[in-house]
Structure 1
Amino acid sequence: MQLWHNLKKVGPLLGIVLGATLAAYSVQGFIVHAGLGGGGIGGIALILFYTLGLPIGLMTFLMNIPLFFLGWREVSRQFVIKTLIGLVIYSIALDLLKGIRPLPFEDIFLGALYGGVLGGIGSGIVFRLGGSLGGTDIIAKVIQRRFGWAMGTTMLFFNAFILLISWAFLGPKIALYSLVSMFTFSRTVDAIQGGIPAKSVTIISNNSDMLVSRIHHEVGRGATFLQGRGSFSAEEKNVIICVVSMPEIGHLKRVIREVDPHAFLIIQDASEVVGQGWAVE
């Protein structure tokens, strides 16, 4: 029990270290190798590296210091502490991994694509564990808490401003490829933040009891009954709400067709599902 308790305390910190290192690897291994820019504080650090030769990691850390005061006032102390750990590891790894070349590619698009995906995975891991890597991540976290905006979308908005600066210093071609990297990064972050991809299914059927029984036993998912009434027939009906994973949607549709071929079915994306049987924050 004591070992499990210690793992629960240390595990998130190890995850933050892993995510921060992966994010740094994506920058040095793909973004810098392709000569691309970036967004936020990291984008400014890249411009300073390309133009003045200043260390990316050191400049990233120094420029983040003022933002910690914002994070300390606006978000939880735990978030700030985890962000500080992530930022320190990220900054150190950025400079330690300088010059690394995982693949001898010359395609700028591949650098933008893989740099964005790996960076998004690394940052997304840190976000899910309650921290960030500093920069506009802190601002995005504050806005998420106040207004509920997706962090990846907010970061894309702020990073667009830095992209204009990159356009001036690095040229339009590099700036546009950098936009590909930034967009890929933000979509990857949102995907990881949203957890397991799922579908919310609304079913209106005259055989609702039998249908729910088969969903329980064959699909392995629970369901919720809502009371509904048809607008034309005025007939009372049970409305079934069920959430399933992407691989399960085909099985669910097959069960519905077998029980009630005339069932009315609505399938919607569930951007985030939290609760028993699903990944939790």
Structure 2
Amino acid sequence: MYQLYKYTVLFVFSIVLGFSFNMFLLPHEVLSGGVTGLAMIFGLLSPINSGIWLVILNIPVFIIGWMRLGKQFILNSVFSVFITSVSMQYIPVVKVTDDALLSAVFGGVIVGVGIGFIVRFYGSTGGADIIGLVVTQKHDIPLGGLIFGLNSIVVFVSGFFFSWDLALYTMASIYITGIVIDRIHTRHIKLNLMVVTSQGDALKNELIANLIRGITVMNGYGAYSNNENKVLYTVITRYELALVKSLIKKVDPQAFVSISETAEVLGNFRRS
């Protein structure tokens, strides 16, 4: 059920990206950032559609992601990029508004929402998303701010090929996109997770099979019921919360779960 839900989210927001590119950004030559922005530049300068360039330019980035972020992540990302590419073939490139600034602002917001949800459900749109996620494995840097920094090069590229007014619109668009991503994708936020359950071994095995996290298991008993329970404690990212909740609900719907935000994590904590 979770897999179906995840791929539905990836499918919907990949189409949202295609819509925002073709309806808001491309008609005014206001670009997205990173590899997507380069694909849009090549699409505007050549007879090949930007969606095709998006696939071609992402191939080397996907290879890096496969080695550092894992098979499932790359499969989700390939699915997302494919859906975005196909949607850009069929969604007409039409101006929603003649105002380039409005298009940059609203296009940036919609792109940020799309990327935020795609990354939150363990996928990406390729390019700077993957590079940013590789970096955040080691450092607790907000992903949106990092992507904005990586994507800034597109501003200068677009300035040389088009106009500096459009380059500044592009800067505004990718800045807004970065802010929106950080409102949705909160992987850098760490959470304390404590679960009191009668299915300790089963839940421990399920969590270990699906998360790269250490888990501390303690014995406990209910003060009211006097039933013996297991207490599982770990630290996860907010990014993993939806998956963890679904796993707990599947194994023990009656489990008592306490989740709180932690200020800092020291020691051997994997940030991926």
Same fold by TM-score greater than 0.5? yes
Counterpart AA for 1:72: W
Which of 1, 8, 13 is 2:7 aligned to? 13
Which of 72, 94, 98 is 2:92 aligned to? 98
Name structure 1 gaps, 5 residues minimum: 1-6, 196-271
Residues 98-122 of structure 1 deviation map (CA, whole Å, 9 limit, x = unaligned)? 3245x3x111111001100011101
Secondary structure at the aligned position of 1:147 is classed as coil
The corresponding residue for 1:174 is: 166
The corresponding residue for 2:100 is: 108
Which of 19, 22, 40 is 1:25 aligned to? 19
Which of 100, 105, 120 is 2:112 aligned to? 120
Residues 145-193 of structure 1 deviation map (CA, whole Å, 9 limit, x = unaligned)? 1222221111111111121111100111000011110001110011111
Counterpart AA for 1:160: S
Structure 1 contact 38–163 (Cα < 8 Å) conserved: no
State the alpha-carbon separation in 1 of the partners of residues 110 and 152 from structure 2.
20
State the alpha-carbon separation in 1 of the partners of residues 8 and 24 from structure 2.
24
State the alpha-carbon separation in 1 of the partners of residues 260 and 111 from structure 2.
25
State the alpha-carbon separation in 1 of the partners of residues 94 and 161 from structure 2.
24
Residues 64-118 of structure 1 deviation map (CA, whole Å, 9 limit, x = unaligned)? 00111100111122211111111111111122213245x3x11111100110001
Structure 2 contact 142–186 (Cα < 8 Å) conserved: no
Secondary structure at the aligned position of 1:33 is classed as helix
Structure 2 contact 28–100 (Cα < 8 Å) conserved: yes
The corresponding residue for 1:52 is: 46
Note the aligned Cα RMSD (angstroms). Answer: 2.3
Alpha-carbon deviation of 1:194? Answer: 3.0
State the alpha-carbon separation in 2 of the partners of residues 132 and 164 from structure 1.
24
The two structures have a TM-score, normalised by structure 2, of 0.68
Asked if 1:83 corresponds to 2:77, the answer is: yes
State the alpha-carbon separation in 2 of the partners of residues 140 and 164 from structure 1.
20
Secondary structure at the aligned position of 2:28 is classed as coil
State the alpha-carbon separation in 2 of the partners of residues 167 and 276 from structure 1.
51
Secondary structure at the aligned position of 1:78 is classed as helix
The two structures have a TM-score, normalised by structure 1, of 0.65
State the alpha-carbon separation in 1 of the partners of residues 47 and 170 from structure 2.
19
Secondary structure at the aligned position of 1:133 is classed as coil
Alpha-carbon deviation of 1:49? Answer: 1.9
Alpha-carbon deviation of 1:23? Answer: 1.1
Secondary structure at the aligned position of 2:27 is classed as coil
Secondary structure at the aligned position of 1:32 is classed as helix
Question: How high is the sequence identity, in percent, across the aligned residues?
Answer: 24
